[in-house]
Amino acid sequence: MLLSRNVTRKVTFKCHITICTLDLPKYITEDEFAAIRSQKIPIGNMTLPKYGEDSVPHAARPGFGPRLWINAQVPYTLDPSFSAEQRQKVALAIQAYHDATCIRFIPKQTLIASMIESQVDILHDPNVCGVAHLCMNTGAQFAKFGGSCVSPGVMIHELGHTLCMGHEQSRRDRDNWISFNTAVCQPHGIDGADFNRGLNKLYDYVSIEHYEGECYNGCFQPKQPGVTKCGSGGPLSVLDIEILNEMYGCTQGCLGYRYVNINNNPTYLVQIGEEPYGDILYSCRAYHQGDIIPGKYHAGRKECYVAYNGGEHSKTGAHIEVLTSPNGAKLVWVRSNQLPSNAIRGGRTNERETIKHFCQNLL
Ligand SMILES: [Zn+2]
């Protein structure tokens, strides 16, 4: 009788403990992903960590040379102190990567321990806005958000660092694209390594890894005419998605297309037409009034023609990219009055709206 009562009390006590501390596993469950799947990442002014506070080298690799996650798989754990609402924000951040790339955040629990060389612990820290170790390191590393910065966008930004994305305004060639108003702020440092943005990639003012407040307070002065927005405001940008798919070698489905600077001797260009006298036209894109606009590249003239406000504009020089398909993705140029559901992203407006490859008027 006594034994029976003891057992009952013990089980009841354990149940309460279970509900409080273990009910939420250290990974996002399928149910949690299902609950947020139809939600969009909200776009708005986003508070990011201050310069110098949010990406840190790992103690094991103080030089933090670029090191990518093996097989694009990132073993992770979740902070057990996350509330259900905070877990939703992390779920949205992870889902953003899963939707647009071949990168997969995989619960550490589901992996064989001996195969885990590295892992990221996704944490809440009330004393920081956001901070993460850069690139894959040996052993545990973290990506944190907290305080007033608990939003999907900040976690996407921090997980971008985990994946080896540096700050856009710190890439080596940034002086071609922005200047710093030293009356307002000190120039940000240059990243020691090109984590992701090899030279000659178009600069992305609306990258998730681009600080935004510094554009609005006059610290950054964009050199491209027409640029009024900085930072993505929350989601991955069109160019972020491309860079990640290139970094991690994603080729599945239609992820294998690549934009290459015209001066980098691109191959596998995507042909979109032919002039009456035989010159071939390829798909290209270039900046115009702050937008990155897909157009047609005339190889003979070395010009990229983009459409804007009902007119055609010729672009020349060092900042033209052409669409290539080196991985066998079947990119088919179609005439259509409706945007096909599988149209690929080709550019974006200054206002962060995606421009898909739908260029009937250019042919
Ligand atoms: Zn950062």
Location of each CATH 3.40.390 domain in the chain: 2-162
Residue 288, pLDDT above cutoff 70: yes
Structure tokens at 349: 């407006």
Q: Residues with Cβ < 8 Å from 71, sequence gap 6 or more?
A: none
What SS3 state is found at 125?
coil
How confident is residue 11, by pLDDT bands cut at 50, 70 and 90?
Answer: very low
Q: Is 2 helix (H, G, I), strand (E, B) or coil?
A: helix
Q: Which two tokens stand for residue 127?
A: 């004393």
Residue 272 has pLDDT above 60, yes or no: yes
What proportion of the chain, given as a percentage, has pLDDT over 70?
A: 86
> Distance from the CA of 311 to the center of ligand 1, in angstroms?
38
Residues present in the chain in total: 363
Confidence check: pLDDT of 12 > 60: no
Task: Please provide the distance, in angstroms rounded to a whole number, between the alpha carbons at the two ends of the chain.
Answer: 87
DSSP code of 36?
Answer: H
Q: Fold for 2-162, please state it.
A: Collagenase (Catalytic Domain) (3.40.390)
Distance 108 CA to ligand 1 centre (A): 24
Catalytic residue among 30, 32, 53, 158: 158
**Predicted pLDDT at 28:** 95
pLDDT score at 328: 80
Average pLDDT over the chain reads 85
pLDDT, tens digit, 9 for 90 and up, residues 196-236:
556 689 999 999 999 998 998 999 999 999 999 999 999 99
Q: Give the pLDDT band of residue 86 (cuts 50, 70, 90).
A: very high
Which of 46-50, 96-100, 108-112 is least confident? 46-50
Whole-number Å distance, alpha carbon 250 to ligand 1 midpoint, is 24
CA of 161 to the centre of ligand 1 (A): 7
Amino acid 111: pLDDT: 82
pTM exceeding 0.75: yes
Helix (H, G, I), strand (E, B) or coil at 46: coil
List of E strands, the chain: 55-56, 73-78, 104-107, 118-124, 130-133, 139-145, 178-180, 220-222, 258-261, 271-274, 280-288, 291-298, 303-308, 311-315, 321-324, 345-348, 354-356
CB 218 within 8 A of CB 286: no
Binding residues for Zn(2+): 157, 161, 167
Q: How far is the CA of 306 from the centre of ligand 1 (A)?
A: 33
pLDDT at 103 over 50: yes
Residue 85 annotated in active site: no
Structure tokens at 245: 């798919």
Binding-site annotation, residues = 157, 161, 167
